[in-house]
Amino acid sequence: GENVEQHPSTLSVQEGDSAVIKCTYSDSASNYFPWYKQELGKRPQLIIDIRSNVGEKKDQRIAVTLNKTAKHFSLHITETQPEDSAVYFCAASIGGWSSASKIIFGSGTRLSIRP
């Protein structure tokens, strides 16, 4: 079955610097890779996602890159701000016409932004 590994488990960066979180997946059939942000005591929220037919996607300060050959994908946050402090989860799944596939989450990265 699918396995998703996420690194690092904790990350501390200076405000204004960039943060990068990396994930690898095992099932080459995976074609949908979302990233979720979970603030303390709150629900996970989708912040960006990428499909396997795209190599990179940007949304303001957030970008995700996908390397299908190497089976890894990364989240990049630029110009970090205090409100970026949270736990970030990557995930991989196989999506399609039936929507019957399950989604596997990485173990999470606790990002702390130092003022």
Partner 1 sequence: DSGVTQTPKHLITATGQRVTLRCSPRSGDLSVYWYQQSLDQGLQFLIQYYNGEERAKGNILERFSAQQFPDLHSELNLSSLELGDSALYFCASSVGLAGAPSYNEQFFGPGTRLTVL
- Taking the complex as a whole, the smallest distance from the CB of residue 79 to partner 1 amounts, in Å, to 26
Residues making contact with partner 1 (CB under 8 A): 31-32, 34, 36, 42-46, 49, 51, 89, 93, 95-108
| Of residues 60 and 97, the one with the C-beta less far from partner 1 | 97
| Of residues 8 and 96, the one with the C-beta less far from partner 1 | 96
- Ramachandran assignment for 71, one of left (phi > 0), alpha (psi -120 to 50 degrees), beta (any other): left
User: CA 14: distance to chain centroid?
Assistant: 20
- Taking the complex as a whole, the smallest distance from the CB of residue 77 to partner 1 amounts, in Å, to 19
Query: 84 CB contacts (<8 Å, ≥6 apart)?
Result: 19, 77, 111, 113
| Of residues 5 and 79, the one with the C-beta less far from partner 1 | 5
Q: Are 89 and 22 a contacting pair, CB within 8 Å?
A: no
- Taking the complex as a whole, the smallest distance from the CB of residue 9 to partner 1 amounts, in Å, to 10
